[in-house]
Structure 1
Amino acid sequence: MHTIPLTTARPGDIRGGIALIGQPNCGKSTLFNALTGLRQHVANYPGVTVEKKQGPMHLGDRRLNLVDLPGTYSLTAFSPEERVVRSFLLDSPPTLGIHVLDAAQLQRGLSLTFQLLEMGLPVICALNMSDVVRRQGHTLDPRRLAELLGVPVVETVGRRGQGLDQLKREISGLLDGGHRIAARLPRYGALEPHIQAIMERLPDSLKNRWMALRLLENDPEGKPLLLRHGLAPESMETLLAEARDRRDRFQKDHDQDLADYVIMMRDRHAHDLTSQCLNTGAGGQRISWTERADRILLNRWLAPVFLLATIYVIYHTAIVQGYELTQYTWPLLAGVRNLAADWLPAAGFLHDPLSRSLGLWLLDSVNTLLNYVPIFLILFALIAILEDSGYMARIAFILDRVLHRFGLHGQSTLPLILGGVFAGGCAVPGVMATRAIPDPRARLATILTVPYMNCLAKIPLYTLLIGIFFVDHKGLIMFFIATITIMVALLVAWLLTRTLLRPMETVPFVMEMPRYHLPTAKGVMRRALDRTWLYIKKVGTIVLAVAVVIFVLLNLPGLSAEEQENFEQRAQIALNQFHDQIHDNPHAHLFQTPEQLMQALSLSNAYRARRMNLSTPEAVQSLDRRFEQADPIYFPFVRPGGGDRDVRAINRALRTLDQERRLLRLEMQETRIHNSLLGRTGQALEPLTRAAGFDWKINVALLSSFAARESAVATLGVLFQQEEGASRPLEERMGTAMGGSEGALVALALIVFFAIYPPCLATAIMVRVQTDSTGWMLFSIVFPAALGLLMASAIHSLGQAFTLDAIHMMIGFWVLILALLLMVGLWPRRRVKSGLATATPGNRGDGSP
C-alpha cells in the first residue's frame, strides 16, 4: 500500500490544475465539456483529441484549470499522444488526475490506471458510460472497485450529465484535504527487488515505480527524461547500466522478456479486480446491438457496398438537393447587393468612385460564396451523424487494408476525412491530424496527399461548374469528384512510398471500434451550425483580405492614356447622340446637366436590378409604386405607363444611351483586367495551360485560389462581368461565355486540375510546420501543379482528338484511374522481413489493447 500526499489548491487559483486522462473514445472530451461548459467538438471517433485542451472548472469559489489530454492507451512513448501525455504528467504534474474509464471495457482500461498510480499521481476514477453496462444486463460495484484500487471511484454518464455532482464532491474533498488516497498497486513478484533498487537511485522528482519499470523495460526516452530532471550524466549512465544489468539477469533467470512479464502481471491484476467488482449475470456475455450491426456493416462483401452508398447519399443529398435551396438564397443576397449599391457613392458615366468600386467588388466576392451556405449546412449535418453514430470509425476499419496496400496507415483515415473525403473538410486540420500517425513514412505520405481531398473551399467551384455544364448529371459528376480524388491520392501515396519515401521506417497500426450511438438532433445541428459559421467567418476574413489584394492586382497599372482617351471620346459621342435625339423634346430640360442624366441612368439601373428578382405582377406593381414615390420626376421616363409620346421617346433614347454606357464600361473593365498585373501573369501562363483549355481568366482565378480556395469563384464572379445594374448569377454569366460542348470539356479539365491543385497558402505553411522542411513544402506545391496540369491537358486534348463529350471523357478517365488503382492494389506484395513487432487488438506490446 502506498499513501500519496495531495497538494491543496488555493481557492480561486487556476494553477491548481486537474488533468482528464483516458483512452480514446472513453467519453473524456464529453466529460470535459460537461465540467467546463465549453462547446468543444466531440466526435465518436478514436483519436479526435490530438492536442491537450483546457478550460476553467468552478467548484464553489475555487476556479481550477481542467486539462483535456489526448486519448492514450499507455504511458509509453510509441505514439505522439503517449509522448504528450507523459511529458505533461512528468514535467508539469497536475494537482489531481481524473482517469476516465469506459465502464463497459473496464479491464482494458485498468492497465493505464495502474501506470498513473505507479507514477505517483493522485487519481479519481470516473466510470463513464456506466449506463451501457446496465443495458448489457451487468452490474458494476464502484465501491468495491474503490476499495481494491484505494482511490475514489465515481459512476458517470457524461453525455447526460449524470454523476458530475458526486465527481465534483470527490474533487473538492481531495483538494480540501479531507480525503486521502492510499493506492493499492500491482505487485510484480520476482521483479520487486529490482524495482526497489532502481527507485532508490532515481532523482526525487522521478522516484516512483513507473519510472523504475520504464528504465528496466529499456524505455528509449529514459535518458532524456533523466537529464531533464537534473540527474548528472555520469550518474545517469551508471543508473542505465544497472537497469540493463538487472534486466538481463531477470530475463536469463526467468527465460521471459521483462516487458512481457510486466504486461502479464498488470493484465492479471486487472482481471482479478474486474472479476471482483463486475457481475455479468448468469446468462454470461450478451451479444450487443453494436456487434449485431457490425456483422452486417463490416461484412467482407457488404462493407464496401455500404461505404460507397454512404458517400453517394451524402453527395446527392447535400450537393444535388442542397443546390436547389440556392434558388431562394440568391435573390436575398442580390437584394443586399442592391441596397449597398444605393448607399455607396453614386456611379459616374464611365468611372466610379474608388469606394463604390471596392465596396461592390467585396460584396460580389462574398455573395458568390455565401450562396452555398445551404449546401454546407446539410453536408456538415450528415458528417456529424456519421461521427456521432460511430460509423466513421468503421470507415477507418474498412479502409485500413486498402490504405496499407498503398503505403498509408490505418490512422491516415482521420486526416483524409478531415481533409474532405466526403467534402466539406479542410486540409489544414487534416495535415495537423497526421501528427497522431506513428509510422513516419505513412505520416509524410498522408501529409502530401491530404490536400488532394475535397476540402470545403473547393466545393463552390465544383458546384458552380456543375450548375452550368452538368445540370442533368449532378449526382454522377459529384460521385466522380468524390472517388477520383481518393483514387489519385492513393496512387500518389503508392508512388511516393516506393520512391522518395522508401528509406523511411514503418511501424504497426492499432485501432479500436467504438459502440454505435444514436446521434441527437441538438448535437448534429450544433455541429452543423458551428462548422458553417466557421466557413462564414473565413469568408469574412481570409476571402475579404484576398479580395482586396486581387482588386489591386486587377486594377494596376490601369488603362493607358490612349485607351482612356478612346473610351472618353466614344462616351462623348454617345452623349451627343442622346442630346441630338431629345433636343426638341419638351422634357429635354430635365436631362441637360451631367447630374440630371446620371440620376435618370442610376434610377434605371436600380429599377432593372430589382425587377429581375421579381416573378409576380403584384410584386412588380409594388416595386413601381416604391420607385415612383422615391423619384416621381424621372421614374416615368424609366417606365412609361401612359400614352405620352414625348416620354416614350426619351425612354427609348435613354435606354439606347444606357446600353452604350454599359457596353463601354464592360469593355473598359475587360481592358483594365487584361492590362493588369494579374492579367498579364495569366496571359503569360496560357502557353502552359492551352492544352487544358484554360484561358487567361481561368489562370487568374487559379492563381488567386492559392491564397484561399474560395477566391477562385469570387475572382471568376468579377472576371465574367455583368452589365451595370444587372443581378444575374455567376452560373448564367459563365454559361453564356463558355457554353457548349467545348465549355463542358474545359469545365471537366478544370475540375480535375482543381482537385489535384497545390494546397492553399495556409495548408502549405502547415506542411512546413509538420514536416519541419521547406523542401517538402515546395514539393507539395510543385508536384501537384505538374500532375494536375498533365491530367487536365490529357482530358481536354484527348476529348478534342476523339470528339468525345465531357460525360464520356469523364467516364473514360475514371475507368482508366480505377484500372491503375486495381492493378497497383492487387499486385502481389513481397514479404519483407522487419525487426518491427506486429500488433493486434489484444496485444500492443505495452499491456494496452
Structure 2
Amino acid sequence: MNTPDRPATLHVALAGQQNAGKSTLFNLLTGMAQHVANYPGVTVDKKTGSYRDGATRVEVVDLPGTYSLTAFSLEERVARSYLLAEAPDVVVNVLDASNLRRGLYLTFQLLELGFPTIIVLNMMDMAARRGLEIDLAALETRLCVPVVPVIGRKGEGAEALRAAILGAAAAPRRGGASLNYGLLEPAVAEIQAALADQPALAGLSARWLAVKLLEQDAEAERLLTDRLPDTPDLLARAQQARAAHEARHGRSAGDTISAARDQLAGEIVATCITDTKAGHVPLSERIDRFLLNRWLAPLFLTASIWVIYQLSIVQGYELTKVTWPFLAGLRNLAADLLPDAGFLYDPQSRALGLWLVDSANTLLNYVPIFLILFALIAMLEDSGYMARIAFILDRVLHRFGLHGQSTLPFILAGVFAGGCAVPGVMATKGIPDHRARMATILTVPFMNCMAKIPLYTLLINIYFPQSKGLMLFYLSTITVIAALLVAKLLTVSVLRKEETAPFVMELPHYHLPTVSGVLRRALDRTWMYIQKVGTTVLAIAVVIYFLLQFPGVAPDRQAQYQTRAETAITQFYAAMGENPHRTVVDDPARLVELVNVYTDYRAAKLNAQGQVASDKVDAKYLGAHPEFAPFLARGGDADTRAAGRALKQLADARKTLRREIRQEKIETSLLGQIGRGLEPVTQFADFDWKINVALLASFAARESSVATLGVLFEQDEGENTTLEQRMGAERADQGYTALTAVAIMLFFALYPPCLATVIMVRIQTDSYRWMAFSIVFPTILGLAVASAVFTLGTMLDLTGLQMMTAVYVTALGLLLVVGLPKPTLRRSPARGPQIRPQMEDRQ
C-alpha cells in the first residue's frame, strides 16, 4: 500500500536550455528504459523514460531544449504546451553551473508556472575548472526551491537528484522566487488579480499568464480566449497596460520584462558565485581564437566536413560490404520460404515478396552509414563545435533563406559528388529555424548523390569526350547554385508563412564527448530510421511494383514466349539424347527445379571471394542437391560434360527470354504507358518515351536510370557492346544530340528525390503535402529548365558545351545578384543567448 508521500507514479519533466546536459541527465535517470517518438503533430523529438524508486514509478519526459517559454520557436511552444497540458508533478530545471546567468532566464519563467521545481546545477566540474565557487545554500534561499549539484557525464549526484524528486513531490506546494518587474509590477499585479478570480482558469498560474499577456504572447492570448471566450475585457486591459507603460517610460513591456529577468539573474550570480579566476581567459575562448579566426575558420571547417564525409559516407559504404552479405542472406532465406520460381514467370507472391525484401534491404544497407554519421554528429554537438559551424556559415547562407546548420545536410547529400540525400535530409532535424529547415529539406536533393554519377558519366562519355573535366565541374557546382537560388525562391514564396524564430547564437563551452552518450544517441537515431522508414517504404514499394508489372505482357505475346521456351526445352532434351543423366530430369517439373538450382549456384559462384568460398558454395549446393551433381560439377566424364553444356544452353535461353519479358513489361506497363503519354510534354526537352521511362524508373532509385537505359537500348544477339556504344549508335536514328544530353543532365540534377529520400521528407516534415511538393515542384522546375535549354540551344544553333556554359554563367550571375545584398539581421557570437522579446523576420 502506498503512503501519501510515496505516490504510485510520478510524472517528471526535464526542462532546460540547449547544451546544459539535459539529455545526459535523462539517460542517467532512466538508463535503457526509454522511448523516442515525436510530439503529436510535430517532428520535435519526444523522449520518455522511467525508473523505479522503491514503490514509486517515476516517468520522465525530456522536453526540447529551449531558452525561454515564449512562442517564438517550435521547441518553445512544444515545451510550454506540454507543461500546461500535462501538469507534471515535478519540473527538473537543468542549468549549466558554469554559465548560471544564462540559464536563470528560463528558470524564472518555470517558477512562475507554479509547479514543484528542482534546480539541477549540472557540469559542476566545469564550473570548478573555471574557478567558480557556488554557494548552494544562498542560491536555494534566493530561488526558494531545492538546488542539487550534479556532474551528469560522470554519473555523480544521481541519487541526490532522485531523492530530491520524491521530496519535491511529497512536500506541500509552495511557489518559488517571485520576480518583481519594477515599473511594470503594478500592471502585472492588477491583471494577475483579475485572472485569479476566474474559475475557468483554475490550475493555471495567474501570474505567469499575466506576464505573458503583457508580453503580447499570441499563444497566451489564444489560451485565454479559449478558456474565457466571453471576457475580452481582460485582453483589452492588458493592451491598455502595455500602451500606457510604453507611453510613460518609452520602452515596450516585453523589454521591461526581459530586463527585469536579466537584472535579477545578475544579482543572484553576484551574491551566490565567487569567481576565483577573474580576468582569466577560459579555455573555450582561447580555442575559439583559432577555430573562429577569420582566416583559419574556413580551413578548420573544411577539415571537419572532410572528416565527417570520409568517415560516414566513404568508410560507411565500405562497411556495407560487411553488412550486405547478412542482408543478402535474409533475401535468400525469403526466397527459400516463398514459392519456387517458374521457368518464364514467377508467382506473384514470390515476385512481390522479393521486391519488398529488396526495397527494404536498399534502405537497411544505409544503417552502417547512419551509425557513423549520427555518432559523429553527436560528437560535434557534445563538443560544442556544431554551434561554431552554424556561426561560421550562417551569415552567407542566411542571404538565401538558409541557416548555418544547413551546411552539414548539404555536405552529407554530396555537395560536389558522392553523398546521399537520405542522411542529408535526416540531418536537417537540428536546424532550429523552421522556415530555413524546410528550405534545406526541399533543396538537399539537388546535391550530387553517388547514384547520379553513373548517368552523368554515361552521357559525358558519349557526347563530351573532349570536355569531360569541364562538364563535370559545371555539374558538380551548378547544383549548389541551384539549391541556393531555389531556397531563396521558396522562402519568399511558399515558405514565407512558415514559422521562424529570433536568431539565438550561443557558443557553448567545449566538452569531451562521452562514449556512452555518443553511442546511445547514434543507436537511438538509427533505430528511429529503421522503424519509420521500414514501415513507409513497404507501402510505396508495392505501388511502384504494380506500376511496373501491370497490365503485363499481352496473351498473344505470352504464347510466343511460351513457344520459344518449349523449343528451348525440346532442344535440351535433344542434346541430352541417351545421356544416362537425363533420367533425373525426365519430369518437366524437375527440369525447372534444376534450372533454378543451377541459376542460384552460378550466381553464388560468381559472388564467391576466393577458392575457399568457392569450395563452400560447391559443398552447399552439391550436398543439398546430390541428384543434380552431374549437371553442376565441373569436369567428369563425357556424359557429365555434355549434361553441363546442355543445361548451360537452356539456362542462357531462359535468361534471354526472361530479360525480353521484363523489357516488354516495362514498355507496356502503366509506367511505360505514362512515359509515352508524357512525350507531348517532354518533347520540348527532346525526351522520348525511353528517356521518360528511364527517368521515371530512377524515382525508385537513381541507379535505375542507367539500368533501365541498359534494358531499353539492348544489344542485338551476338554483340558485345557497351551502353555508351549502343546509345551512341542510336543517336542518328533517335535524333539525340549533345543538347539532348545537356537537357537530360540538368533535368536529372533538379529531378525529384528518389523514393528513399521522399520517404525521409515525409518523415521529417510529417506532411504528405510537403512530400508531394518535393516531387511536383522539382519536376516542373527541371522540365522547364531542360525544355528552355534544348529549345534555345536549337534556335541559336549552339553546341551542347556552349549551351551548358551559357546556363552556368547565367545561374552564377543570378546567384551574385540575389546574394550580394546584405541581410537585414546581423549576427554575432555570444557566450549566452541573445533573447529578443519581439519576433524578427528572417527574410
Flag whether TM exceeds 0.5 (same fold).
yes
Q: Contact (CA 8 Å) 1:22, 1:72: kept in 2 or not?
A: yes
Q: Contact (CA 8 Å) 2:537, 2:756: kept in 1 or not?
A: no
Q: CA deviation at 1:453?
A: 0.9
Q: CA deviation at 1:278?
A: 0.9
Aligned partner letter, 1:654: L
Q: CA deviation at 1:22?
A: 1.8
1:578 lines up with 2:568 in the alignment: no
Matches of 1:477 and 1:535, distance apart in 2: 36
Matches of 1:100 and 1:359, distance apart in 2: 50
Q: CA deviation at 1:280?
A: 0.8
What is the aligned partner in structure 1 of residue 438 from structure 2? 447
State the Cα deviation string for residues 434-489 of structure 1 (Å, max 9, x = none): 7x53xxxxx55652552221499x95734776999999x99999999886555323
CA separation of 1:291/1:689 partners in 2, compared to 1, >3 Å: closer, same or farther?
A: farther
Q: Contact (CA 8 Å) 1:753, 1:792: kept in 2 or not?
A: no
**Candidates 427, 451, 462, aligned match of 1:461:** 451
Q: Contact (CA 8 Å) 1:419, 1:451: kept in 2 or not?
A: no
Aligned partner letter, 1:59: D
Aligned partner letter, 1:752: A
Matches of 2:501 and 2:318, distance apart in 1: 47
What is the aligned partner in structure 2 of residue 134 from structure 1? 128
1:683 lines up with 2:676 in the alignment: yes
Q: Contact (CA 8 Å) 1:251, 1:257: kept in 2 or not?
A: yes
1:356 lines up with 2:350 in the alignment: yes
CA separation of 1:751/1:505 partners in 2, compared to 1, >3 Å: closer, same or farther?
A: closer
What is the aligned partner in structure 2 of residue 183 from structure 1? 176
CA separation of 1:786/1:579 partners in 2, compared to 1, >3 Å: closer, same or farther?
A: same
What is the aligned partner in structure 1 of residue 667 from structure 2? 674
Structure 2 unaligned residues grouped into runs of 5+: 37-41, 462-466, 713-720, 730-736
**Candidates 656, 660, 676, aligned match of 2:653:** 660
What does residue range 172-571 of structure 1 map to in structure 2 within 5 Å? 172-177=166-171, 181=174, 183-189=176-182, 191-204=184-197, 205=202, 208-221=206-219, 223-230=221-228, 232-233=230-231, 236-237=232-233, 239-244=234-239, 257-281=252-276, 283-329=277-323, 333-334=327-328, 337-338=331-332, 340-341=334-335, 344-408=338-402, 423=420, 425=422, 437=433, 443-444=434-435, 446-454=437-445, 461-462=451-452, 485-497=479-491, 508-537=502-531, 540-571=534-565
Q: CA deviation at 1:127?
A: 0.9
CA separation of 1:754/1:500 partners in 2, compared to 1, >3 Å: closer, same or farther?
A: closer
Once the two structures are overlaid, the 10-residue window that deviates more, 479-488 or 81-90, is 479-488
Matches of 2:469 and 2:167, distance apart in 1: 60
Matches of 2:24 and 2:365, distance apart in 1: 34
Once the two structures are overlaid, the 10-residue window that deviates more, 573-582 or 697-706, is 697-706
Matches of 2:642 and 2:786, distance apart in 1: 53
Matches of 2:470 and 2:271, distance apart in 1: 58
State the Cα deviation string for residues 183-214 of structure 1 (Å, max 9, x = none): 34333455544443333322353564443444
What is the aligned partner in structure 2 of residue 29 from structure 1? 23
CA separation of 1:221/1:356 partners in 2, compared to 1, >3 Å: closer, same or farther?
A: closer
Matches of 2:263 and 2:519, distance apart in 1: 45
Q: CA deviation at 1:563?
A: 0.7
Corresponding residue SS for 1:175: helix
Q: CA deviation at 1:307?
A: 2.8
CA separation of 1:376/1:686 partners in 2, compared to 1, >3 Å: closer, same or farther?
A: farther
Matches of 1:222 and 1:640, distance apart in 2: 81
Aligned partner letter, 2:571: Q
Matches of 1:360 and 1:300, distance apart in 2: 55
Matches of 1:656 and 1:266, distance apart in 2: 85
Matches of 2:591 and 2:45, distance apart in 1: 64
CA separation of 1:818/1:533 partners in 2, compared to 1, >3 Å: closer, same or farther?
A: farther
Q: Contact (CA 8 Å) 2:697, 2:708: kept in 1 or not?
A: no
Once the two structures are overlaid, the 10-residue window that deviates more, 329-338 or 794-803, is 794-803
State the Cα deviation string for residues 590-634 of structure 1 (Å, max 9, x = none): 554323433443343232122112343454445445444444443
What does residue range 667-816 of structure 1 map to in structure 2 within 5 Å? 667-686=660-679, 688=681, 699-700=692-693, 703=696, 749=746, 752-754=749-751, 762=759, 780-791=774-785
Q: Contact (CA 8 Å) 1:10, 1:62: kept in 2 or not?
A: no
Corresponding residue SS for 1:66: strand
CA separation of 1:784/1:847 partners in 2, compared to 1, >3 Å: closer, same or farther?
A: closer
Corresponding residue SS for 1:124: strand
Q: Contact (CA 8 Å) 1:600, 1:638: kept in 2 or not?
A: no
Aligned partner letter, 2:835: R
Aligned partner letter, 1:676: S
Matches of 1:495 and 1:455, distance apart in 2: 14
Q: CA deviation at 1:215?
A: 4.1
What is the aligned partner in structure 1 of residue 715 from structure 2? none
Corresponding residue SS for 2:25: helix
Matches of 1:407 and 1:811, distance apart in 2: 27
CA separation of 1:31/1:190 partners in 2, compared to 1, >3 Å: closer, same or farther?
A: same
Aligned partner letter, 2:442: P
State the Cα deviation string for residues 558-585 of structure 1 (Å, max 9, x = none): 2222211211222232233333334354
Q: Contact (CA 8 Å) 2:102, 2:833: kept in 1 or not?
A: no
Q: Contact (CA 8 Å) 2:331, 2:357: kept in 1 or not?
A: yes
Matches of 1:528 and 1:507, distance apart in 2: 27
Matches of 2:289 and 2:31, distance apart in 1: 38
CA separation of 1:399/1:352 partners in 2, compared to 1, >3 Å: closer, same or farther?
A: same
Matches of 2:647 and 2:411, distance apart in 1: 57
CA RMSD of aligned residues (A): 5.0
CA separation of 1:197/1:714 partners in 2, compared to 1, >3 Å: closer, same or farther?
A: same
Q: CA deviation at 1:695?
A: 6.8
Q: Contact (CA 8 Å) 1:431, 1:766: kept in 2 or not?
A: no
* Corresponding residue pairs, total: 802
CA separation of 1:605/1:802 partners in 2, compared to 1, >3 Å: closer, same or farther?
A: farther
Aligned partner letter, 1:663: T
What is the aligned partner in structure 2 of residue 166 from structure 1? 160
Aligned partner letter, 1:674: E
CA separation of 1:551/1:280 partners in 2, compared to 1, >3 Å: closer, same or farther?
A: same
Matches of 1:431 and 1:616, distance apart in 2: 43
What is the aligned partner in structure 2 of residue 101 from structure 1? 95
Once the two structures are overlaid, the 10-residue window that deviates more, 624-633 or 678-687, is 624-633
What TM-score do you get using the length of structure 2 for normalisation? 0.79
Corresponding residue SS for 1:319: helix
CA separation of 1:475/1:330 partners in 2, compared to 1, >3 Å: closer, same or farther?
A: farther
Once the two structures are overlaid, the 10-residue window that deviates more, 294-303 or 355-364, is 355-364
Q: CA deviation at 1:767?
A: 9.3
Structure 1 unaligned residues grouped into runs of 5+: 1-7, 43-47, 438-442, 723-731
Q: CA deviation at 1:25?
A: 2.2
Q: Contact (CA 8 Å) 1:95, 1:122: kept in 2 or not?
A: yes
Q: Contact (CA 8 Å) 1:53, 1:68: kept in 2 or not?
A: yes
CA separation of 1:474/1:452 partners in 2, compared to 1, >3 Å: closer, same or farther?
A: farther
Q: CA deviation at 1:153?
A: 0.6
CA separation of 1:350/1:619 partners in 2, compared to 1, >3 Å: closer, same or farther?
A: same
State the Cα deviation string for residues 134-165 of structure 1 (Å, max 9, x = none): 11122112122112222111112223322121
Q: Contact (CA 8 Å) 1:364, 1:714: kept in 2 or not?
A: no
Q: CA deviation at 1:294?
A: 1.8
Once the two structures are overlaid, the 10-residue window that deviates more, 508-517 or 790-799, is 790-799
Q: Contact (CA 8 Å) 1:543, 1:711: kept in 2 or not?
A: no
Matches of 1:377 and 1:584, distance apart in 2: 59
Q: CA deviation at 1:166?
A: 0.9
CA separation of 1:307/1:694 partners in 2, compared to 1, >3 Å: closer, same or farther?
A: farther
Matches of 1:9 and 1:81, distance apart in 2: 35
